[in-house]
Structure 1
């Protein structure tokens, strides 16, 4: 996996599932969630917990992170 660490826009379905990822101006429909976990964060550095998803988004296999407090998504890594 290649580290990316860029903010992205993620659209959700009405029921809350992941629908689409927009990265570098291009939409990638999310075909499925391959794995999901909760990362507790390095509390001693002030990191907040976040939800992590490994998704198949069109031809991308991407690791997405969501932090609820600032309501932000970012693309952590992609399969290279």
Structure 2
């Protein structure tokens, strides 16, 4: 997988990703293969995250949702 680390827009259903919008293109999520928690680098003030491995069309991607009010979504990695 290739590291990307770009903020993206994600539509959710019951908290899980259902559609990823990246580089102006929408990718419907067909499957969530895995879900896990990452505590973040707390010593740097980084928030924890919920992470998802998804299949979205031809794209296999690792998405991260930051904890907290902002709740930003990140495209962390993708299959190149």
Q: In the alignment, what sits opposite 2:30?
A: 31
Give how far 1:17 is off: 3.0
Matches within 5 A, 1:26-65: 26-65=25-64
Residue number in structure 1 paired with 2:65: 66
For the residues of structure 2 that align with 1:78 and 1:46, how far apart are their CA atoms?
Answer: 26
TM-score with structure 2 length normalisation? 0.92
Please state if 1:76 is matched with 2:76. Answer: yes
- Residue 76 of structure 1 deviates from its aligned partner by 0.4
Structure 2 residue ranges without an equivalent (≥5) = none
Q: Which runs of 4+ in 1 moved over 6 A?
A: none
Secondary structure at the counterpart of residue 41 of structure 1: coil
Q: How many residues align?
A: 79
Report the secondary structure of 2:43's partner residue.
Answer: helix
The offset of 1:32, in angstroms, is: 0.5
